[in-house]
Homo-oligomer: A and B are copies of this chain.
Amino acid sequence: MLNTPNLSHGRHTLAIPGPSVMPERVLQAMHRPAPNIYTGELIDITYSCIPDLKAVAKTQGEVAMYIGNGHAAWEASLANTLAPGDRVLVPGGAQFSKGWAETARKRGLIVDELDFGRRAPIDSDAVEQALRDDKAHEIKAVLVVQVDTASSAKSDLAAIRRAMDAAVHPALLMSDSIACLGCDDMQMDNWGVDVVMTGSQKGLMVPPGMCFVFFNEKAQAARARLERVSGYWDWEPRVNPQGYYQISCGTAPTHHFYGLRVALDILVHEEGIDNVLARHATLARAVWAACDAWASGGPLEINIPDIAARSNAVTSMRIGAPYGTQLRDWVTAEAGMTLGIGLGMATEDDPNSDGFFRIGHMGHLNSHMLLGTLGSIDAGLKSLGIPHGSGALEAAAQVCAGK
Contact surface of A with B, Cβ cutoff 8 Å: 3-14, 16, 18-24, 27-38, 67-72, 74-75, 79, 102-103, 106-108, 199, 201, 207-209, 228-232, 234, 248-256, 266, 271, 275-276, 278-279, 281-283, 331-332, 334-338, 341, 364-376, 378-380, 382-383, 390-394, 396-398, 400-403
Contact = CB atoms under 8 A, between A and B. Distances in A.
Nearest to A103: B231
A77 to B, nearest CB: 12
Contacts of A282: 5, 7
A374 B374 CA distance: 12
A178 to B, nearest CB: 9
Nearest to A28: B28
A387 to B, nearest CB: 14
Contacts of A279: 5-7, 9
Contacts of A21: 10-11, 33-34
B397 A379 contact: yes
B72 A368 contact: no
Contacts of A20: 34
Nearest to A363: B10
Contacts of A69: 67, 248-253
B380 A390 contact: no
Contacts of A336: 366-369
Assembly stoichiometry (copies) = 4
Contact of A231 (B102, B209, B248, B254): B102
Contacts of A7: 279, 282-283, 366-367, 400, 402
Nearest to A384: B401
7 contacts: A7-B402, A12-B36, A103-B231, A331-B368, A334-B400, A378-B397, A379-B401
A397 B254 CA distance: 32
A381 to B, nearest CB: 8
The 4 closest A-B pairs by CB, nearest first: A372-B372, A371-B375, A10-B366, A336-B366
B208 A402 contact: no
B9 A33 contact: no
Given A230-B75, A368-B335, A67 B27 contact: no
Nearest to A281: B5
Contacts of A74: 231-232
A21 B209 CA distance: 20
A383 B403 contact: yes
Contact of A255 (B209, B338, B383): B209
A231 B75 contact: yes
Nearest to A19: B34
A99 to B, nearest CB: 8
Nearest to A107: B230
Contacts of A254: 19, 201, 207-208
A34 B21 CA distance: 6
A22 B338 CA distance: 19
Contacts of A370: 372
